[in-house]
Amino acid sequence: MDKLNWIKDLVRAEQKMEESGVVDFSFGFDPQQLLFNESLSFLNQLKNGFVEASASFNQLKASTVGRVKIYGISNTHADFMLFRNGFKLIFALREPGVIGIRFHYVGAGFVQVNAASDNGQKVTNEEDILIARWGAFGDLVWTYQEQPIKIDYLVRYYMTRFIRESAK
């Protein structure tokens, strides 16, 4: 998100107020819109972190087999997934301020089973949830299990886990 968008919103709201002659004391701060925009921004930052980590992994890997690919998910604002050897690591905006992270693998004989599909294949589908919390002065803090997170550490953790679980 552009760091000056909030100023543009203030100017637009003031112009609207001047044109209409009606004073709106709540102008310039729409927490729901801010939460939505910040959620998209956070997902894009995550994606950029994974693009960088995946590019480094793929460059250092001698073989072209087992490279990590990253795809955007259609009909979503910023959802994306990592793909390798039939494994997916999916990052999805569940609602503004809530991001789901889940591993997904469909294949015969997969050991870590959470459910069985209709066609007899084993399916794993676990999900971690990141939640945005409002901090002082409208600061948005992203958390996992009530603990604040840093993107670099999140990328390192999930990338390492994804590579280990998707190894053939």
* Residue from 140, 143, 168 nearest 154 by CA: 143
For residue 65, the one-letter residue type is V
Supply the pLDDT for residue 42: 96
Q: Give the pLDDT confidence score for residue 17 in this predicted structure.
A: 82
Which pLDDT score, from 0 to 100, does residue 149 have? Answer: 96
Give the pLDDT score at 117: 45
Contact status, residue 68 vs residue 58, Cβ threshold 8 Å: yes
- pTM for the full model? 0.79
Looking at residue 133, what is its pLDDT?
96
pLDDT recorded at residue 155: 98
pLDDT under 50: residue ranges of the chain: 1, 109-118, 120-123
Q: Give the pLDDT score at 106.
A: 67
**Residue percentage of the chain with pLDDT more than 90:** 53
Residue 143 and residue 149 in contact, taking contact as beta carbons nearer than 8 Å:
yes
**Residue whose C-alpha is closest to residue 160's, from 77, 86, 49:** 49
Please give the pLDDT value at position 125: 56
Q: Is 95 exposed, middle or buried (0-12, 13-18, 19+ CB in 10 A)?
A: exposed
